[in-house]
Amino acid sequence: MRRSSLTLLLLLSAACARSPLVRQGFPVIVATPALAQQSGFAPWAISMPFGHAQDGSTLVLRFLERAETSGARYVSNVQVVFMADDGGTDLECRTHLMPEGPVPPWKTLVRTAMAAGEYAPLRVIRRPIPYTMTQCREHWVSTTVTEATRSGPSSARGAAVLMTTTSMTSRPEIRCEPVTATRILSRYAFEDAVDYVPPRIERLMESRPELKLLETEAECLPRDPLAPRTNRIEALAYGGSGPRAAFLDVPPVAPARAPKPAPTQVDL
**Quick check: pTM over 0.85?**
no
Query: Given this model, what pLDDT does residue 139 score?
Result: 84
* C-alpha–C-alpha distance, residues 26 and 218, integer Å: 31
Residue 209, pLDDT above cutoff 50 = yes
**What whole-number percentage of the chain has pLDDT above 90?**
49
* C-alpha–C-alpha distance, residues 249 and 235, integer Å: 20
CA distances from 72 to 63, 198, 232 (A): 12, 25, 19
Q: State the pLDDT confidence band at 180, using cuts at 50, 70 and 90.
A: very high
Instruction: Give the tens place of pLDDT for each residue, 227-240.
Output: 999 999 999 999 98
Instruction: Give the tens place of pLDDT for each residue, 149-170.
Output: 776 665 556 566 777 788 888 8
Query: Given this model, what pLDDT does residue 159 score?
Result: 63
* Structure-model confidence comparison of residues 76 and 22, the more confident one: 76
* C-alpha–C-alpha distance, residues 245 and 129, integer Å: 37
Residue 117, pLDDT above cutoff 90 = no
Q: Which of 58-62, 253-257, 262-266 is least confident?
A: 262-266
Q: What is the pLDDT of the chain when averaged over all its residues?
A: 79
Query: Given this model, what pLDDT does residue 140 score?
Result: 86
Query: Given this model, what pLDDT does residue 157 score?
Result: 61
Q: Which of 85-94, 173-182, 253-262 is least confident?
A: 253-262
Question: Is 197 within 8 Å of 50 (Cβ atoms)?
Answer: no
* Structure-model confidence comparison of residues 180 and 252, the more confident one: 180
